Structure 1
Amino acid sequence: MNVLAKAKAAIDGFDFNEANIEAFNESAGTELSSESLKDYLKNWLKYYLVPQFEMYGSEEEVPLGTTKLYGLPHLPDSLEFPEDMIFAGQFNLAEIKPHDIFNEVPKDSGIYYFFVDVDGVESEVFFYDGPVDDLKIREYPNGDEYGKSQVMDLRGKSEELYMQEDLIGWWIKAKDKYSDCHLATIMGADILERLEGLLQKEAGSFTLYDHLGSLPDEYFFGKPRYYQGEDGDDPNFYPSFFGFEPPWNYDCFLNLYVWQDEKSKEYYGDIEITS
């Protein structure tokens, strides 16, 4: 059983205070029960793989083919650095797969390379599944370089569970459906503290966050930062934040999404990049 399943099982077996829930129902016009509250909490519970970053002084020091952002791509001779594109990052599936509790990563090995244009509109995605020894550091065709490599260290324990501190009113059919209903108010602050401790014990790393902006900037799996049209509550491969400096004068969110249904895969391929 993975950490997310363990946490959901802990919520199923948790003893809530019915009197607290009933008091909230009277004030908010809801009809919550312990069982329905458990369903909401399990839906709000998300799994993330949060990498640690290591900066390198030069590209020659970076291990070939490792998962990283920025710097220069490590490409085989069969792939060319696209003209007028910025290198966003490369993702080694063999490094990510051991943390893939959803069986979401499309392959057990290989490297995805992502490039975006300076306007954040067009993109190029390459895939290579061959010997790492055949990779070479490839310079920008026009001589430019945007930032040094930020290598993602996935060797340590970096899986984390997050839950949002408030539930949106329309989720629980509150009379003010656009208001935030805080968990401490719904179940009682002492009950919530006890639940937090239980989830921390089951998951090893659990955080109750105030809002989406409290999440780390870069993470695998979980939910995307900004994306319209995702397939319900399906997990996503790598929603992330990338802040490019010149030529862009603003930050850009970059979501990498694995399509769930076969029709989308047939039309778009295994992974879509949106910015």
Structure 2
Amino acid sequence: MFNYSALPDWYDWAYALSEAGLLLISLLATLFIGVLASLVVALYRGRPGRAKPSSMPPGFLTGIVLPVSVVLGLLVNDVWRKYDDAHDVVLQEAAIVADLVRVIQLLPESAAEEMGALLYGYVHGDVPSDWRAFQSRTLPPVTRSALAEMTARTPALQRQYRGDGATSHALELLARDIATLDKTRKARINLSMGRMDNTRWFVLALLMFSCLVMLVEVVYGQWRNHLLVLVLFALGYGSLAYMVLTHDRPYTGATIASHAPITAAYVTEVQALKNRP
């Protein structure tokens, strides 16, 4: 399991930016790598005006650029898939919460009032607290929550209403949903943690740098083509870097998987039960 402490400290600064600002920073950072690559090529090729045409075989260019593109594409796909999974987990949690509201209504009045209050505390207390923890680079507590209290109270209620068939069945459904909710919350916590640490970002920048050195080597001395390579590379690969950065921590920043579906599912189900004749 990844640890928030292992994530880059500059993530806090990056996630405080707007999406447009973060995209601009990603493009400029990639362009800066291109400028460094141009300076490196200039060290051994001399002045651009006197540079001879590159004798680099076309196969070398393909051998460098293609692997970099594939690696970055796979990385973006992996992060994007995790981001989609994070959204799906929130929707699953919302569906379980709605089901819990319905099941709690099947319990005797005192038990329904107790478990209903705990579920309310989970939706309006624990869940927003989880998101605040995600924003502050910490993990939310697994225990000492309304969900943990619901888990602890259910067996006692099952013993108390052991002779009541209908209530026992409702409590079985309640225990099943609570266990599923606990499993879903833990999956959400696991998905909240990013996969890109400083080492991986450095390797990614190094791959881009090696690719740009090769491209600049081919067009060195051709000002128009040189500029075109830098701009197009910054637009293409900078956009991919932006996608990785914005989706690496799905519950943090401006591009965020919100807990709103959980609250909405709870409120909608409670209101529907109140309006039921």
The TM-score, its normalising length taken from structure 2, stands at 0.28
**Larger Rg: 1 or 2?**
2
Q: Which has the higher contact order (CA 8 A, sep 6+)?
A: 2
Greater helix fraction, Structure 1 or Structure 2: 2
Q: TM-score, normalised by structure 1?
A: 0.28
